[in-house]
Structure 1
Amino acid sequence: MKYEQLGNSSLEISAITFGAWAAGGWMWGSTDRKDAIDAIRASFDMGVTSIDTAPVYGQGASEEIVGEAIKGIARDRIQILTKFGMRWDLDKGNLAMKSRDNNGKPIDIYKYAGKESVIYECEQSLKRLGTDFIDLYQIHWPDDTTSIEETFDAVARLVEQGKVRHVGVCNYSASQMIEADKVVPIVSNQVPYSMVNRGIEEETLPYCVVNGKAILAYSPLQRGLLTGKIYQGYQFQEGDSRATLRYFQPDFLTKTNTFLDQLKPIAEEHNVTLGQLVLRWTVERPGITVALVGARNAAQAIENAGAFKFDFNEEEIARISTLVTNLEL
């Protein structure tokens, strides 16, 4: 495994970071708690020392699973990344979505990062995770009902108290990062990035490169699409939100799988899976610090970590990048 410094901070995290959204089950058609714990532990055994989670993933379930999975591991051997600012138990801020919890109960999710809410969420996360501090604390989505100054004043207090080591953002624009950075040093931005979703290359990525901010790329496999395992007629589990996304509609699937067929010979040459090839290409992209990728079981976790069991040469990276650039979706 490769380890990367998080922006200008002293924190190093694994280039493949375990994304624990699916572990919480919410929007993924439920979860098997034992399988999720096994996946996290298998990742750690493969050198994946960093875990990214959030309270809203399973409404606390993901953080609890992470907390259980890391029991017995020396705290200085792992890096815990979690978030705040998505409340399902409080009707303040902006309504982000209407959803259902893992038991099928309707819930409303709000984007809210008021001062007291941030402090409350941190305390709850620490309890669920079973730890005294969070290595990287990130606002999950911008909250336009609360000033950036108020939100990050609260986070700065948590840093002073030793409950938070480093501060990041998710889904922030360059201008929002600049505002937050005035209050407390921002070391990273977690944003979506994949071969079929490269919007951050226009503004966010260049800003982060110039200003020494890390990019944590989430959904690098586009929620499984780029593994080549999703095909026409694929049946998603009940409650799996992917079924309604444009990436999984027939036309998009056809074009993507045709593109993936062009990548297969390169993957076969290295004796790796398409997923491993895609993950490795992602973390080799200029400005991308790490790739966040989830796993539902130990086998998937081991496969993801295997993205570093081979080496690219420059010609291969260029070939893949040309195919990506020419991909019309």
Structure 2
Amino acid sequence: MKYKKLGNSDLEVSVITFGAWAAGGWMWGSTDRKDAVEAIKASYDLGVTSIDTAPIYGQGTSEEIVGEAIKGIARDRVQILTKFGMRWDLVKGDLAMNSTDNSGKAIDIYKYAGKESVIYECEQSLKRLGTDYIDLYQIHWPDNTTAIDETFEAVAQLIEQGKVRHAGVCNYTASQMIEADKIVPLMSNQVPYSMVSRGIEEETLPYCIVNEKSILAYSPLQRGLLTGKIHAGYEFQEGDSRATLSYFQPDFIAKTNLFLDKLKPIAQEHNVTLGQLVLRWTVERPGITVALAGARNAMQSIENAGALKFDLSEEEITRISALVTDF
């Protein structure tokens, strides 16, 4: 495994970071807690020391699973990245979506990051995670009903109290980052980035490179699409939100698989899977610090960590990038 500094901090994170959204089950159909715990442990054994989670992932389930998985590991050997600002238990802020929890019960989810809510959420996360501090605390989505300075004054207070080490954001524009950075130094922005979703290259990525902010790329495998395992007629489990997304409609799946066919020879040359090749290319992109890779079992964790067991030449990176540009 390789490690990089988070922003301009002294905190090192694993280039492949365990993404614990699927572990929480919510919007992925279901979760098996035992398999999820084993997936995190298998990742850690292979050098994946950083874990990204959030309260909304399974409405606390993901954080509880992470807490169980890291129990017994020296706290300074693992980096916990979690979030705040999406409430399913409070009617306040921006309505983000109508959804259902893991039991099928209807829930309304709000984007809310008022000061009292940020403090409350941090306390709840600490309990679920079984720790007394969070390495990186990130606002999950912008909250248009709360001033950015109010939100990050709360984060600054948590840092002063030692409950949070560093502040980050998710899904923020460059202008929003500039405003938040005036209140507390931001280390990172967690944003979607994959071979078929490269919108951050226009503004967010250049800003982060110039200002030494880390990019934590989420959905680098486009929620499994870029593994080559999704095909026309693929049946998703009930409750799996991918079934309704544009990336998983027949035409886009077919187009993507034709593109992946062009990558297969390079993967075969290195004796790696398409998923490993995609992850490796992603972390070689300028400005990308971390690729968040989810896993629902130990085998998937082992495959994700294997993305750092081989090297791509400059010629191969250029060739892959040309194919990506032509997609």
Fold agreement, TM-score > 0.5: yes
SS at match of 2:319: helix
1:224 partnered with 2:224: yes
- The alpha-carbon deviation at position 57 of structure 1 amounts to 0.2
Matched letter for residue 109 of structure 1: I
Cα distance in 2 between the residues matched to 1:87 and 1:298 = 30
- The alpha-carbon deviation at position 88 of structure 1 amounts to 0.1
Hey, what does 2:19 align to over in structure 1? 19
CA offset digits 1:201-228 (Å, max 9, x no partner): 0000000000000000000000000000
- The alpha-carbon deviation at position 68 of structure 1 amounts to 0.2
- The alpha-carbon deviation at position 50 of structure 1 amounts to 0.1
- The alpha-carbon deviation at position 93 of structure 1 amounts to 0.1
Hey, what does 2:56 align to over in structure 1? 56
Cα distance in 2 between the residues matched to 1:36 and 1:148 = 34
CA offset digits 1:45-88 (Å, max 9, x no partner): 01000000000000000000000000000000000000000000
TM-score with structure 1 length normalisation? 0.99
> Structure 1 stretches of 5 or more lacking a match?
none
Hey, what does 2:293 align to over in structure 1? 293
- The alpha-carbon deviation at position 110 of structure 1 amounts to 0.2
Hey, what does 1:267 align to over in structure 2? 267
Hey, what does 1:258 align to over in structure 2? 258
Matched letter for residue 4 of structure 1: K
CA offset digits 1:264-304 (Å, max 9, x no partner): 00000000000000000000000100100100100000000
Matched letter for residue 161 of structure 2: Q
**Any residues of structure 2 matched to 1:52-201 within 5 Å, and which?**
52-201=52-201
- The alpha-carbon deviation at position 249 of structure 1 amounts to 0.2
SS at match of 1:82: strand
- The alpha-carbon deviation at position 185 of structure 1 amounts to 0.3
SS at match of 2:56: coil
Identity %: 83
Hey, what does 1:32 align to over in structure 2? 32
CA offset digits 1:222-260 (Å, max 9, x no partner): 000000000000000000000000000011001000000
- The alpha-carbon deviation at position 146 of structure 1 amounts to 0.1
Hey, what does 1:278 align to over in structure 2? 278
Cα distance in 2 between the residues matched to 1:15 and 1:60 = 25
Matched letter for residue 148 of structure 2: I
SS at match of 1:178: helix
Hey, what does 2:238 align to over in structure 1? 238
Cα distance in 2 between the residues matched to 1:23 and 1:311 = 29
Hey, what does 2:6 align to over in structure 1? 6
Stretches of 4+ aligned residues off by more than 3 angstroms: none
Cα distance in 1 between the residues matched to 2:12 and 2:22 = 24
Corresponding residue pairs, total: 327
Cα distance in 2 between the residues matched to 1:155 and 1:210 = 24
SS at match of 1:91: coil
- The alpha-carbon deviation at position 262 of structure 1 amounts to 0.3
Hey, what does 1:42 align to over in structure 2? 42
TM-score with structure 2 length normalisation? 1.00
SS at match of 1:230: coil
Cα distance in 2 between the residues matched to 1:232 and 1:125 = 39
SS at match of 2:263: helix
Cα distance in 2 between the residues matched to 1:49 and 1:133 = 16
CA RMSD of aligned residues (A): 0.3
SS at match of 1:304: helix
- The alpha-carbon deviation at position 100 of structure 1 amounts to 0.2
CA offset digits 1:184-209 (Å, max 9, x no partner): 00010000000000000000000000
Cα distance in 2 between the residues matched to 1:122 and 1:10 = 22
SS at match of 1:289: strand
SS at match of 2:276: helix
Matched letter for residue 156 of structure 2: A
- The alpha-carbon deviation at position 38 of structure 1 amounts to 0.3
> Structure 2 stretches of 5 or more lacking a match?
none
Matched letter for residue 32 of structure 1: D
SS at match of 1:80: strand
Cα distance in 2 between the residues matched to 1:10 and 1:118 = 24
Matched letter for residue 288 of structure 2: I
SS at match of 2:217: strand
Cα distance in 1 between the residues matched to 2:16 and 2:311 = 15
SS at match of 1:209: helix
- The alpha-carbon deviation at position 175 of structure 1 amounts to 0.2
